[in-house]
């Protein structure tokens, strides 16, 4: 299964101008997926700091960094309002699926650009459920899974339309927006997206928020059932829409 999301992120970083020798701050880094993409682009002469509120994903990120030989990255616990002090200005601030969880997104962006040099890049990738799910034939299991994801992040207080709101948020934060793009995650009968793995990772959150029970989800067979549904209906399905935008300080 191709990692469509990471491919979109990589192209976004490259097109925004992330390049060798840059200093990059990855806010809301989780276990470091975007951090490592940025690390490859800035090279050994660059530096990437991944910051996240939670300690557990940072432990996983540090382990992966050692295993993969990413010598130009570090990780620290913090937030938009509380990045580790005494840092040199960054050339770019990036984040993926993190603005959607901020109670005041404009304020959050204003806080984080304090760590950015004048003319530096601000880049965010967010998702949006406005236009999805979409298919020409009924796809009840796919639609059910999409509802599980949507209901979970809604109950967590996230903005499920953050993609469409990106331009306004960056503009209101005083930044000069250079580009906004969107790309659908398309699943054909033969080409799946790893939705089963996403639900597996989200499973504790789905159960905690009362969205579905483990018996209802049947995680061990979920991906197979999704693939069978597309094959049996011979249908193309769009379940997610990714937005990316970058701006300058």
Q: Would you say how long the chain is, in residues?
A: 249
Q: Are 66 and 42 in contact (CB under 8 A)?
A: no
Q: What is the pLDDT of residues 18-74, one digit of tens each?
A: 999 999 999 999 999 999 999 999 999 999 999 999 999 999 999 999 999 999 999
> Residue 93 to residues 25, 210, 235: CA-CA distances in angstroms?
5, 35, 39
Q: pLDDT by residue (tens digit) across 192-227?
A: 889 999 999 999 999 999 999 999 999 999 999 999
Query: CB 114: neighbour CB atoms within 10 A?
Result: 12
Q: Measure the CA–CA gap between 236 and 30, rounded to whole angstroms.
A: 31
Question: Would you say residue 163 has pLDDT above 70?
Answer: yes
C-alpha 12 chain-centroid distance: 12
Spatial separation of the C-alpha atoms in residues 223 and 67, rounded to whole Å: 29
Angle 198-199-201 from CA coordinates, rounded to 5°:
65
- Cβ atoms of 98 and 122 closer than 8 Å: no
Owner of token pair 């993609």: 163
Q: Is the separation of the CB atoms in 26 and 73 below 8 Å?
A: no
Q: In b/e form, how buried is each residue of 164-183, taking b as 16+ CB within 10 angstroms? A: bbbeebbeebebebbeeebb
Q: Which helix (H) or strand (E) holds 25?
A: strand 23-27
Stretch among 4-8, 47-51, 86-90, 191-195 having the lowest mean pLDDT: 4-8
The pLDDT value given to residue 76: 95
The whole-number pLDDT of residue 162 equals 96
Token duo for residue 164 = 């469409």
pLDDT at residue 3, rounded to an integer: 57
Q: Assess whether the previous peptide bond of 136 is cis (omega < 30° from 0).
A: no
pLDDT digits (tens, 9 = 90+) for 96-134: 999 999 999 999 999 999 999 999 999 999 999 999 999
In three state form, how does the secondary structure of 159-224 look? CCCHHHHHHHHHHHCCCEEEEEEEEEEEECCCCCCCHHHHHHHHHHHHHHCCCCCHHHHCHHHHHH
The mean pLDDT of 2-22, rounded to a whole number, is: 88
């Amino acid at each position: 299964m191709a990692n469509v999301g990471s491919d979109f992120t990589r192209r976004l970083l490259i097109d925004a101008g992330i390049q060798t020798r840059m200093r990059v701050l990855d806010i809301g880094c989780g276990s470091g997926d975007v951090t490592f993409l940025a690390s490859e682009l800035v090279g050994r002469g660059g530096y990437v700091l991944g910051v996240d509120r939670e300690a557990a994903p940072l432990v996983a990120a540090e382990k992966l960094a050692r295993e993969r030989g990413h010598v130009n990255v570090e990780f620290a616990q913090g937030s938009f309002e509380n990045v580790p002090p005494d840092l040199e200005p960054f050339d770019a601030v990036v984040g993926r699926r993190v603005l959607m969880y901020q109670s005041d997104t404009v304020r959050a962006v204003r806080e984080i650009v304090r760590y950015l040099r004048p003319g530096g890049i601000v880049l965010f990738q967010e998702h949006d459920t406005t236009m999805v799910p979409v298919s020409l034939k009924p796809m009840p299991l796919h639609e059910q899974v999409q509802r599980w994801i949507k209901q979970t992040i809604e109950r967590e207080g996230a903005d499920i339309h953050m993609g469409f709101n990106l331009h306004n948020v960056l503009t209101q934060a005083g930044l000069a927006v250079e580009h906004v793009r969107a790309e659908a995650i398309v699943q054909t009968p033969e080409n799946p997206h790893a939705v089963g793995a996403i639900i597996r990772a989200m499973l504790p959150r789905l159960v905690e928020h009362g969205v579905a029970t483990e018996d209802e989800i049947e995680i061990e067979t979920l991906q197979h059932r999704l693939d069978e549904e597309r094959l049996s209906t011979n249908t193309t399905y769009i379940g997610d829409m990714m937005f990316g935008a970058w701006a300058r300080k």
